[in-house]
Amino acid sequence: MTDQAAIQDLILQNALKELVVDYWRDVDANDATRALEYYTEDCVYLMCGHRMEGRAAIGAYYEYRRRRGTPRLVRHLVANLRARAAGADRGVVEGSMVVYADDGRPVLPSAPPILVADISADCVRGIDTKWRFQLFKIVPLFQGGADMLVPPAA
């Protein structure tokens, strides 16, 4: 690999990892108000066995979270992120995620995480040069503690 190719590879890896980190920061700190900007129109979000297809379904899930009347404190911690190209304007990110969450306002009592999961995302760079998730998967490995907020039955 040439120096220029190595630099381009690092730029791609950084952009894809940043996409994942920025998305979860929006979900945690901004109540997911920009979450849909991170997805393609034809996206699929697979969350612990729940399937949401398209931005409208994902938007409905986050709207449900916001309107349930009980504040939710959540932190999605992502680690061990690996990113690679998967073709022209396509990339894949894989990693681990630990989720701490419960209903209420800070400071809440310390408790074990409610989820430890593998995550993976198939990403596409749009004509506007922005990377977005076409497929995002959360596969649980350990689960317990406070209840997870899952999409309401359709």
Residue 126, domain CATH: 3.10.450.50
Q: Provide the 8-state DSSP code for 146.
A: S
Distance CA 123, CA 14 (A): 13
The string of pLDDT tens digits covering residues 3-15 is 898 899 999 999 9
Query: Is residue 34 in a domain?
Result: yes
Query: Is residue 152 in a domain?
Result: no
Query: Is residue 123 in a domain?
Result: yes
Tokens standing for residue 67: 């309107």
Query: Is residue 48 in a domain?
Result: yes
Instruction: Determine the average pLDDT of the residues in 19-43.
Output: 98
Question: CB count, 10 Å around CB of 83?
Answer: 23
Can you tell me whether residue 13 is helix, strand or coil? helix
Query: Is residue 51 in a domain?
Result: yes
pLDDT score of 154 more than 70: no
**Structural domain for 123, as ranges:** 3-143
Cβ contact 98:113 at 8 Å? yes
The string of pLDDT tens digits covering residues 96-152 is 999 999 999 999 999 999 999 999 999 999 999 999 999 999 999 999 877 777 777
Cβ contact 130:23 at 8 Å? no
Counting the structural domains of the chain, the total is 1
Question: Residue 50's beta-bridge partner residues?
Answer: 47
Distance CA 6, CA 133 (A): 24
The pLDDT > 70 percentage for the chain reads: 97
